[in-house]
Amino acid sequence: MTLLFSSQGMGDAVWRDTLAPHLPELDLTGPDWRVWPDRVGDPADIRVALVWRPEPGCLAGLPNLRAILNLGAGVDALLADTTLPDLPLARMIDARLTSGMTEYVVLAVLALHRGWMDWADSQRAGRWEELPGHDPAARRVGILGLGELGADAARALAALGFSVQGWSRTPKALPGGVTGFHGPEGLYALLAQTDILVNLLPLTAETTGILNADLFARLPRGAAVINAARGGHLVEADLIPALDGGQLSRAVLDVFQVEPLPAGHPFWTHPRVTVTPHNASPSIPESSAPGLAANIRRVLAGRMPEDLVDRVRGY
């Protein structure tokens, strides 16, 4: 019962060593652990693929593969692979993955709310500048996407006293203190009353390019944007004109169309853009291993893994 690890960004050793105590029935230091592309062995041996941004086509020639387990929440890169086998595909659901994203969103919202970036600008200029205080109840935070990540971030921000609203494709049960919107008209209503917009949507055909000039124009002048979902959500060419013209005050970006963000890209040096290296909530093997091992056991026992992706919806 062999596992295949395939990733263009993660090393396999830490996942192997962290999973091994949870799967003592498998020899993960020996023949039951394979790695693409150098240690695949006989492709017919492989039953479960553990992947994060795998090389396109790498799963196509595995005749006995039963399931694909993604080592993160987003599956857009996987679904873009036209050779991806039509097999059960599960995404990572892990409490630490969720809390990590909430930490990032709260950090970014608080930095924007308190003017932390303005203080940093003042320090670089050698300028002592006291900023006025603001009541979080008067700061309207809008969250696009109310799945596992968005709902938890909304809960945390509401607990801090912010005025929080969220938008989703369909109605959702929401944490206390969070106002919900859904559908196209609901999106426009949310945007009109949002000072800090947080994008945590899945990347689908419908949401690609949603952060564009038209959306920015629907926000109150001087609003800020946080994108911690996927680079494909943002029309990058629309962002800098919105910042330079004052429609947006700042942008905090963790994800980009091309990663790593190329040297010389204007986001690196724009004074009102904060760049982080797609690190808002990295998967932590020690936290993810118990749930991942349980899903592997389900597959090897002939059952469906949990947290299946709806391929039609794209998440």
**Residue 309 maps to a domain:** no
Q: Work out how many domains the chain is built from and give that number.
A: 2
Could you give the 3-state DSSP secondary structure of residue 23?
coil
What are the CA-CA distances from residue 288 to residues 3, 19, 154, 188 (Å)? 16, 9, 23, 37
**Residue 311 maps to a domain:** no
Q: What is the pLDDT of residues 181-204, one digit of tens each?
A: 999 999 999 999 999 999 999 999
Same domain, 80 and 219: no
pTM: 0.93
What is the pLDDT at residue 9?
Answer: 82
- For helices 95-114 and 148-159, the axis angle rounded to 10 degrees is 50
**Residue 71 maps to a domain:** yes
What is the pLDDT at residue 103?
Answer: 99
Q: Could you give the CA distance from residue 224 to residue 10 in angstroms, rounded to a whole number?
A: 32
In the annotation, is 53 catalytic? no
Q: What is the pLDDT of residues 210-227, one digit of tens each?
A: 999 999 999 999 999 999
**Residue 62 maps to a domain:** yes
Same domain, 121 and 256: yes
**Residue 184 maps to a domain:** yes
Same domain, 246 and 104: yes
Same domain, 200 and 113: yes
Q: Could you give the CA distance from residue 270 to residue 190 in angstroms, rounded to a whole number?
A: 28
Same domain, 19 and 165: no
Same domain, 83 and 151: no
Which mean pLDDT values do the consecutive 10-residue runs of the chain (315 residues) have? 93 97 98 97 98 96 98 92 97 93 99 98 97 96 97 98 97 93 96 99 96 99 99 99 99 98 98 98 95 98 97 91
Same domain, 144 and 221: yes
**Residue 253 maps to a domain:** yes
Of 127, 130, 140, 306, nearest to 220 (Cα)?
140
Please check whether residue 292 is in contact with residue 50, taking contact to mean a CB–CB distance below 8 angstroms.
yes
In the annotation, is 270 catalytic? no
Same domain, 137 and 239: yes
Provide Rg for the chain, Cα atoms: 21
Q: Could you give the CA distance from residue 165 to residue 154 in angstroms, rounded to a whole number?
A: 8
What is the pLDDT at residue 1?
Answer: 82
Q: Could you give the CA distance from residue 79 to residue 294 in angstroms, rounded to a whole number?
A: 24
Of the candidates 34, 47, 250, 278, the residue annotated as catalytic is: 278
Dump the DSSP string for 122-160: HHHTT---PPPP--GGGSEEEEE--SHHHHHHHHHHHHT
AA letter at 9? G
**Residue 22 maps to a domain:** yes
Same domain, 177 and 129: yes
Identify the H or E element spanning 50: strand 46-52
Same domain, 32 and 166: no
**Residue 226 maps to a domain:** yes
Domain around 288: 2-94+283-300
Of the candidates 66, 230, 233, 250, the residue annotated as catalytic is: 230
Same domain, 149 and 89: no
Which residues in 281-307 are b (16+ Cβ under 10 Å) and which e?
Answer: bebebebbbebbbebbbbbbeeeebeb
Same domain, 236 and 198: yes
Tell me the CATH number at 269. 3.40.50.720
What are the CA-CA distances from residue 6 to residues 10, 16, 104, 202 (Å)? 8, 12, 27, 22
Dump the DSSP string for 84-105: --SS-EE----HHHHHHHHHHH
What is the pLDDT at residue 96?
Answer: 93
Please check whether residue 200 is in contact with residue 153, taking contact to mean a CB–CB distance below 8 angstroms.
yes
Token representation of residue 240 = 């800098």
